Amino acid sequence: MPGGKVSKRPIPVLIGDLLVKSDLISLGQLADALPISQKTGLPVGRVLVSSGFITEDRLHSALMAQSLIRDKLLNVEYAVLALRKTGEKDISLDDALREVGWRSEYFEFTNKLGQLLVEAELVNPDQLEDALQTCFNTGLPLGRILVLKGVMNDMSAYAALTAQQLIRQGKITRQQAMEALAVSAEKNTSLEESLALHGHYQVQQNNAVRLGELLVLAELVSEIDLLTAVERGIVDELPIGQVLTQAKLISYSTLVDALKVQELVCARVLNPLEAAEVLKLTKARGIAIPQAVSEVTKRTQTEKSRGLTMLELLKMVRLIPDSDMEMVLQQSSRTGTPVENILLTTGLIDSATLQVALRCHQLMSDGYLTHEQAIFALHHYVWSKEDFQLIMEKLGWVSPQR
């Protein structure tokens, strides 16, 4: 049976040629439409529809087929066969492709991912249909389209991709995935944390950081580009680093450095945030990894000896960006207003989270928590919103009653 694997050599195909080859329009109709298109600047497909030579649905099917060809997921021969079926039987391109025996793993993956998102109530059917049309017209992955359209945030889309991968690997059921996705979206946390919360799936604790997440932390790859790369990597069964280099999002030397720094995290030489700082330094200043490690670890030791400030604690949990930290410090210095008051009045943090942050900072200052434990406890509160004392009890850490 024909599969979705086609030549990786790009095959340019014009929409008019595709429509003629598929017998959806005649060569004469195309000849009539081309001068109008050139004169008015309208796409030739639009001219064909307005001239009554083709229906909107048939044009849409042809544009989808052209996109799949452009994205090297469908060859021209099967596109022509399927488009002829759409005209003969008045069926969708999806149904026509099935009738001619074609399957694209990416096409199937995208549709299954969309169904999972609808079942988990993260998108509604209308939003999915709109995103799928954009997906197949542009060649962009579904997850990226949904984020660009503001239907969901990066974390939810990334969680959905992770869920789809775990389902394919047989590690979780579809029902478990839907439950975890709902929790992940509600609490803005990772899918693995949501699954672990329900006891469905226990992530191996190997002190590792994912390569993509390390590159995002180091600000070398954007979250939305990582999302696209993850989706492509799952379908093509390629390592994320290879996808990122092929897409020219990072250089090969950056990939090599990132893998070396990732190994330092596994070896417990660095924590993930330190690793990101090391990688950022190597790229920004062109220094070797050992020198960057030395600078970052020295800085960390200095911070440990003097303890973290409240703002630094909030920054480590990624609650306050650097730009806002600078603004808060300047305003506090200029007006004498306590930092906590500025954080509340500017809406940078809510009162409940601020109280927990202050509690964590106090426990750290009093020696009940290390700064790593304070960061972890605050992070756990941010995504779970559980009672802080209960969190401390779950973690087995000493916390004097207030």
DSSP string over 147-158? HHTTSS-HHHHH
Closest to 20 in 3D by CA, of 30, 12, 35, 11: 30
In Å, how far are 6, 281, 355, 361 from 398, measured between CA atoms?
60, 37, 18, 14
Residue type, 104: S
What pLDDT is recorded for position 247?
81
pTM of the model: 0.49
What pLDDT is recorded for position 191?
77
Cβ proximity of 36 and 45 under 8 Å: no
Task: Please give the Cα distance from 273 to 254 (Å, whole number).
Answer: 17
What pLDDT is recorded for position 202?
54
* Helix or strand holding residue 83 (H, E): helix 76-89
Task: Please give the Cα distance from 75 to 65 (Å, whole number).
Answer: 9
Task: Please give the Cα distance from 138 to 136 (Å, whole number).
Answer: 6
Tens-digit pLDDT profile for residues 314-330: 877 777 777 788 888 88
Tens-digit pLDDT profile for residues 22-51: 999 999 999 999 989 888 888 888 899 999
Cα torsion for 349, 213, 112, 200, to the nearest 10°? Answer: -80
Burial class (CB in 10 A: 0-12, 13-18, 19+), 201: middle
Task: Please give the Cα distance from 86 to 54 (Å, whole number).
Answer: 12
Task: Please give the Cα distance from 56 to 66 (Å, whole number).
Answer: 15
Beta strands in 250-344 (DSSP E): none
Q: Give pLDDT < 50 ranges for the chain.
A: 1-11, 203-206
Residues whose CB is less than 8 angstroms from the CB of residue 362 and which lie 6 or more positions away in sequence, other chains included: none
In sign, the C-alpha dihedral spanning 115, 117, 118, 120 is positive
Cβ proximity of 377 and 369 under 8 Å: yes
